[in-house]
Amino acid sequence: MELKYFSIIIIFIIFFHFSYQAKIISKRDVIDDTISPENEIEVTLSEGDFESSQNVHEIDLSKLGINVPADPTMGNKTEGDIAVKNLKLFIKNSNGLARNAIRQKYRRWPNGEIPYTLSSKYGSYAKSIIAKAMDEYHRKTCIRFVPRDSSRHVDYIYIHPDDGCYSLVGKVGGRQPLSLDSGCIQTGTIVHELMHTVGFFHEQSRNDRDNYIKIVWENVMSGADDQFEKYGINIIDNLNEPYDYNSIMHYGPYAFSANGRRTITPYQANADRMGQRVEFSPTDLRKINKLYECNNYGSNGNIDNSVNQVCEDLNWRCNFWSLGLFNYCDRYDEVRNVICRFSCGTCRINVDKFGRRNPFNEDMGGGCFDSASYCRSITPSFHCKVPKLANNCPVRCRLC
């Protein structure tokens, strides 16, 4: 009798455990498909989303019944996840690309600020993971994903669950889509797609790739040869960085395989992580910070405070020139690098322990500081009117 009751208790505990886990995260916490297209709206991440992203534990989405490919970025678009029908035509019309990075300034996001909205279909778990991926950029580069302000931002990305994982490359104009369906809600996958948005192509598109990898064409699925295009040195440049097997933008060894065998074989031994979708490589960070002239960030993505330059604007009009309406920071090197270094975000201001602005790029420690990770994402002219946000983000709101 006691054994019977003991067995019932064990079964109850097991059932309760899995039921509790299911209650913690469900499919609707990833994407709520009960929201109809006519009721789907554009929203942005909240303060709570960025706060929860600091402690969120990523789960195996397949345990929720979600189909998660081995590499979600290997989709049915150009090079798997680039949403452009004809990449060669795109390159021709772009007047040159930087090996795996865009060269022309009009395709870069002004001041490294990328306005965004996202679909209201994303649940709490998905939003925390998206926030976590964005925060990787905020902590390690000068790229800032900011909530779209319709009065200021004509160009912005719209993150929505369309069909797999894909993105456009760089700033294309208007509302440009970035798709993250339920199988894409992983930090590394999102970082990869956002790096396309920032302006990068895949690493193996480089002209010099044949010195580092061999494409095993007999193993490539029929009709997928163009997924392994490379682009001439007359079109692209490498930002003076070495070939990076560990880049979050590199194909994996079995990309577009027809038979389960390798399609990419590295020539060097340091390629164990080729195709990883976990984190930036050090070279990824250097490339981003070079492309956007993030002068205060070191090779590891950390803020470099060693440069003792005055961080200030030399003209009162910088407050206006830095707005998207004028776009002077992106259009004029002298405005960005000399006249409006503070407003264009070319330099950073720290404060001392008494809350006084330190006009040099050096750390005086303590005192006035932003206490929340989401501070990097807020738009001062809009969010700093909210007392709680202003209190949590005094540096971003320029209150000290």
What are 272-281's pLDDT values in tens digits? 889 988 889 9
Pairwise CA distance, residues 228 & 233, whole Å? 16
Cα 293 to Cα 46, 110, 171, 297, distances in angstroms: 29, 11, 17, 9
Q: What's the burial of 364, exposed, middle or buried (CB within 10 Å: 0-12/13-18/19+)?
A: middle
The predicted pLDDT at position 250 comes to 93
Q: Please check whether residues 363 and 249 belong to one and the same domain.
A: no
Name the pairing type of β-strands 165-167 and 156-160.
Answer: unpaired
Q: Please check whether residues 284 and 316 belong to one and the same domain.
A: no
Return the higher-pLDDT residue of 100 and 98: 100
pLDDT tens, position by position, 369-392: 676 666 766 677 667 767 667 777
Return the higher-pLDDT residue of 396 and 282: 282
* Residue 338 DSSP class: I
pLDDT tens, position by position, 163-210: 888 999 899 999 999 999 999 999 999 999 999 999 998 899 888 899
Q: Please check whether residues 285 and 361 belong to one and the same domain.
A: no
Q: What percent of the chain has pLDDT over 90?
A: 38
- The residue type of 256 is F
The predicted pLDDT at position 308 comes to 42
Q: Is 42 a catalytic residue?
A: no
Domain membership of residue 368 (yes or no) is yes
Q: What integer is the mean pLDDT of 317-337?
A: 74
Domain of 105, in residue numbers:
24-292
Q: Please check whether residues 265 and 347 belong to one and the same domain.
A: no
pLDDT band of residue 57 (cuts 50, 70, 90) is confident
Of 244, 261, 292, the one marking the end of a domain is: 292
Of 292, 322, 337, the one marking the end of a domain is: 292
Active-site residue, from 193, 229, 279, 362? 193
Q: Please check whether residues 171 and 301 belong to one and the same domain.
A: no
Task: Return the SS3 of 102.
Answer: strand
Q: How many domains does the chain contain in total?
A: 2
pLDDT band of residue 355 (cuts 50, 70, 90) is very low
Domain membership of residue 336 (yes or no) is yes
Q: Please check whether residues 136 and 197 belong to one and the same domain.
A: yes
Pairwise CA distance, residues 156 & 113, whole Å? 10
Tell me the pLDDT of the chain averaged across its residues. 77
Of 292, 310, 332, the one marking the end of a domain is: 292
Highest mean pLDDT pick, 78-87, 267-276, 309-318: 267-276
Pairwise CA distance, residues 339 & 318, whole Å? 8
383 is known to lie in a ligand binding site: no
Q: Please check whether residues 209 and 118 belong to one and the same domain.
A: yes
Pairwise CA distance, residues 130 & 137, whole Å? 11
153 is known to lie in a ligand binding site: no
The predicted pLDDT at position 210 comes to 93
- The residue type of 215 is I
Domain membership of residue 97 (yes or no) is yes
Highest mean pLDDT pick, 100-104, 312-316, 362-366: 312-316
pLDDT tens, position by position, 217-258: 999 999 888 888 886 655 455 788 899 999 999 999 999 899
57 is known to lie in a ligand binding site: no
Q: Please check whether residues 311 and 280 belong to one and the same domain.
A: no
pLDDT band of residue 74 (cuts 50, 70, 90) is low
Task: Return the SS3 of 387.
Answer: helix
Q: What integer is the mean pLDDT of 342-351?
A: 62
Domain membership of residue 31 (yes or no) is yes
Position 96 pLDDT exceeds 60: no
Name the pairing type of β-strands 350-351 and 264-266.
Answer: unpaired
Q: Please check whether residues 253 and 360 belong to one and the same domain.
A: no
Position 34 pLDDT exceeds 80: yes
Residue 251 has which token pair? 């194909």
Cα 263 to Cα 80, 202, 242, distances in angstroms: 14, 15, 22
The predicted pLDDT at position 103 comes to 58
The residue ranges of DSSP E strands in 85-223, in sequence order, are 97-98, 101-102, 113-119, 144-147, 156-160, 165-167, 175-180, 213-215
Question: Could you tell me the CATH number of the domain that includes residue 50?
Answer: 3.40.390.10
Q: Please check whether residues 44 and 180 belong to one and the same domain.
A: yes
Name the pairing type of β-strands 350-351 and 357-358.
Answer: antiparallel
Ranges 39-43, 80-84, 160-164, 349-353: which has the least confidence = 349-353
pLDDT tens, position by position, 116-151: 999 999 999 999 999 999 999 998 999 999 999 999
